[in-house]
Chain A
Amino acid sequence: MREEIVEQEERLLNGDEAVAWAAYHVEPDVVAAYPITPQTIIVERFSEFVADGLVRTEFVSVESEHSAMSACVGAAAAGGRAFTATAANGLQLMNEILYIASSLRLPIVMAIANRAVSGPINIHCDHTDAMNVRDAGWVMLFCEDAQEVYDTIIQAFKIAENPKVLLPVMVNFDGFLISHTAQKVKVFKDPSVVREKFLGGPRKPVKIKLMGKEVELSLNPKNPVPVTFGPLDLYDYYYEHKMQQLVAIQNAYDVVKEVHEEYAKLSGRRYGNGVIVPYKLDDAEIAVVAMGSAPGTMRYVIDEMREEGIKIGLLRVRLFRPFPYKDIIEALRNVKVVGVFDRAQNQGMMGGPLFLETRAALYELESRPEVVNYIFGLGGRDAPPEMFREAFDELVGIYRGTISPFIRKYIGVRE
């Protein structure tokens, strides 16, 4: 299909500002948020856009993250486009409402500047916050840099509002490493490209038949028959509703890919197939798997080792929920050793969440690779190329049979 890339302008934006610009270009009906580092700049910038009259968004300052998500639930149930942002403990405080948002099938979009969860109190990057809510029924995407953050926030609304999905979407990016790092970001020159052309104007809630009449699935007072959101749902129907939700999150897999492709035609930017981003995997014997910003750093190490003739490649997982296990199986089908890098805690678990699911996916293969786990970068501990090089060399050792495989290791930490 012919691509018609729309006019864009270059700006120096950090990850938080990129989110604010994306939200400006989307112009949600309601933004409800509570400040928390390292997400604060998002809401600061966005409130400036509101104050400057660039958006007609209803900006709601709330007293907690629990209230922020509750306000988004109300706004989305009323048929609006709702957006919020948080991190770490703020996300944990929202937990109860996260499940309600997904079960009510509300297409809320939320940005997460991933941060370690207290305690001890720490404001820096790891993915533990997102991993704690990974089963809340949200679609979860992980971005590598500020450009991808801008692009993905915009895509998230279209994914969320697709009638086959109707689920909230969480867009993750590394706190400070991305949230506070300014880089060149291309943004659409004309916001209507996002609002009108890409999203097709204001949100249009789906229509359903109710008591013989067509009604909007929202708390719209103009509905000829009133609609209820969130009634008691016991053993007679709860399970059926959960089944619908399970179908919806699986549907999101195709929709994430479709929306990514549609957006690429406007922007000229692609991130793999939208769910995974392979790098030099075609002939690889050894593969590393990671999410967030670390893959950027890892590519330098991969290149260095490729120059030395080592057949190593990288798989960046962009979509974490629904987990793209089929893509992962295909991408890693021919490798002999896999190192999965989790930037999250695994208290009492066999390994990090990304490791466990990657390893489980690869169980499907008849000839399975060795799969080992590295935990790194907790609480913002620096993750430089040298640290990855040391771990990658170990994977080469496993491949050559000079090092025995193991389950998990903690790297970049004092013992």
Chain B
Amino acid sequence: MMPKKDFVEIRMHGRGGQGAWTASIILAQAALVEGKYSQSFPEFGPERSGAPVTAYARIGPSPIDIHAGITNPDYVIVIDPTLVHMATVGVKENGKIIAASAKSPEELRRALNLSDSIELWVVDGVRIAIETIGIAIANTAMLGAFVRATDGKVVSLDALIKATRNVLGPRLSEEAVNKNIQAIKRAYEEVKKG
């Protein structure tokens, strides 16, 4: 079979313990729910609680045979607001950054000195996580924001919710899973482009 470069590449920034790798697994699972192909991998190395970590995903309509790192992602998702300065590294022209931040999109765009060709979507994912789940972990909320920012074209909101149930179901109580889904929906609604 001829490999096609018809996939998108996603990078996620979080801190050890905030579920960046889990978020990339949920995204990859959502792709499966939709009958697409995907890869999900962590920053290859030892995991350290609290230290900045990155996780990656590739999603596309055909089998993905590339086995190399992602250096120029189409989309960057920032789970921890204190890591937002890392978002711009290598991001593609016409790429998108989806960031958790209490700042307004305009403020954040200025702070990052972002080029006009890069779309910025901002939502206070941490606040949403605290209000819905009760802990300051915005990994699932930011996936909701991602789906909105990509207009459901990478994965749909429906697929994301199903995948969240698949991945978190065996690990958390049903109540905790439902709260994560609430977080996804709220971030989907509240995320702003700027």
Contacts and interface: CB of A to CB of B under 8 A. Distances in A.
A224 interface: no
Interface string A142-182: 00110000000000000000000000000000101110111
A328 interface: no
Interface string A188-206: 0000000000000000000
A86 interface: no
A182 B67 contact: no
Nearest to A380: B44
Chain A interface category by residue count: 20 to 34
A12 B44 contact: no
A383 interface: yes
A197 B27 CA distance: 35
A370 interface: no
A405 interface: no
Interface of B: 2-3, 5, 25, 28-29, 32, 37-42, 44-46, 64-69, 71
Contacts of A297: 65-68
A383 B66 CA distance: 10
A300 B46 contact: no
Contact of A293 (B2, B3, B44, B67): B67
A382 interface: yes
Contact of B41 (A181, A382, A383): A181
Nearest to A292: B67
A12 B40 contact: yes
Contacts of B64: 183
A12 B65 contact: no
A18 to B, nearest CB: 13
Contact of B67 (A123, A178, A303): A178
Interface in A26-57: 37
Contact of A182 (B5, B25, B66): B25
B67 A12 contact: no
A297 B65 CA distance: 6
A174 B67 contact: yes
A385 B3 contact: no
Interface string A289-322: 0000110110110010000000000000000000
B28 to A, nearest CB: 5
Contact of B44 (A145, A176, A384): A176
B35 to A, nearest CB: 9
A183 B39 contact: yes
A135 interface: no
Contacts of A383: 67-68
A184 interface: yes
Contacts, number: 78
Interface in A1-37: 10, 12, 14, 37
Contacts of A127: none
A124 interface: yes
A181 B39 contact: yes
A167 B124 CA distance: 59
Nearest to B29: A12
B94 to A, nearest CB: 20
A64 B81 CA distance: 43
A10 B68 contact: no
B188 to A, nearest CB: 22
B40 A177 contact: no
Interface in A365-415: 380, 382-385
A12 B41 contact: no
Nearest to B24: A182
Contact of B69 (A12, A14, A299, A382): A382
Contacts of A181: 39-41, 67
A145 B38 CA distance: 13
A123 B68 contact: no
Nearest to A125: B44
A123 B43 CA distance: 13
A158 B87 CA distance: 49
A384 B37 CA distance: 20
Nearest to B64: A183
A10 B33 CA distance: 10
Given A10-B32, A300-B5, A303-B2, A184 B68 contact: no
Contact of A123 (B5, B41, B45): B45
B3 A182 contact: no
